A and B are shown apart, each in its own frame.
Chain A
Amino acid sequence: MLFNENLPIYIQIMNLIKKQIVKGELRGGDKLPSVRDLSTELKVNPNTIQRSYHELEREGLVYTQRGMGTFVTEDEEIIKDLKQKMASNLVNSFIADMKSLGFSLEDILSIINKKIKEG
């Protein structure tokens, strides 16, 4: 199934939704599935989904309208920030992995440049 990382499920669900926002599959103002629906779809305890939504709201990525549901923020800045943050997380972990293999920053840059030239 979906959940293989050794992370709490609520964080994995948050990451899933963040990716959908960054990729533009979920746009500003779009409604997230109801807790019930997502719970059935992912076969996860509804309390866990609720917690993911709650944490996403605390991070400002979504907002809840009473009786209406949960919606993606319409604040473009927040979405841009999220995109930056996810990119820098990926790059940081890549650099850390490469360094642990003994590559210097120059090595890493030249490898990347070569890759990009190759297409």
Chain B
Amino acid sequence: MANIIEIKGLTKTYHNKKALNNVTLTIEKGKVVGILGPNGSGKTTLIKILAGILRPTGGEVFIDGNRPGVTTKSIISYLPDRNFLYDWMNIQDAINFFKDFYADFDENRAYELLDFMKLDKNMKVDSLSKGMMEKLNLSLVLSRNAKVYILDEPIAGVDPVARDQILDAIINNYNEESTMIITTHLVRDMENIFDEVIFLKEGEVYLLGNAEALREERNMKIDDLYKEIFGA
């Protein structure tokens, strides 16, 4: 199958601190990929480089054959790890904002997702709880017909009911034509939705592989493997 993402020898340094060190990996089209690691392991840095927000210090990144830039931004739908909407907006404003910004935004899908998430389009952004905010942001991001979805910590800090709704929305919106890259340290809640997992440790790829093959080979859940790799 074709690779949608190719990363070779990627390095990112902030001043003299190495956030990513010589990361090499490929991601196939149509896969759900988990990038796993504790805080500070380089997950968000890696994702921001893919999303075209940060520039690499060294190495090469190709997304659908192109270096990160205007072209790749148009095919990537990115959920940052914090709210990206303005406080003055209501949900309808947020939808209009996305519609203006992204040619591939499917307004009908957005209304369906909001309905599924039990969010009303007249709600004000600054009145939303953390879980509702996460559900709104995710609904908007999943309503684009993108080739690549990048979700940074989509279930961090939300209650179990919201978490289930978010997982359902991710599973229901998955299709073989697109690729999903999801970072998380909440491995137990998410491991069943990954095809592939990449363990990042101190800015380097510690281990990567097919999730089912790793379970078979190591005779343990990905969550236990995570604890083994990152435990004390």
Contact = CB atoms under 8 A, between A and B. Distances in A.
B217 to A, nearest CB: 10
A48 B172 CA distance: 14
A45 B229 CA distance: 24
Contacts of A36: 172
Contact of A45 (B172, B194, B213, B219): B194
Interface in A35-76: 36, 39-40, 42-48, 51
Contact of B171 (A3, A40, A51): A40
Contacts of A42: 192
A100 interface: no
A3 B171 CA distance: 17
Interface stretch (A6-14, A26-34, A102-110): A6-14
A40 B184 CA distance: 20
A46 B174 CA distance: 8
A1 B32 CA distance: 20
Interface of B: 32, 164, 167-168, 171-172, 174, 192-195, 211-213, 215-216, 219-221, 224
- A-B CB proximity, top 9 nearest: A8-B212, A44-B192, A8-B215, A6-B220, A45-B193, A8-B216, A43-B167, A6-B219, A39-B171
Given A3-B192, A8-B216, A45-B32, 12 more contacts: A3-B221, A6-B215, A6-B219, A6-B221, A7-B215, A7-B216, A8-B212, A9-B192, A39-B171, A43-B193, A44-B171, A45-B193
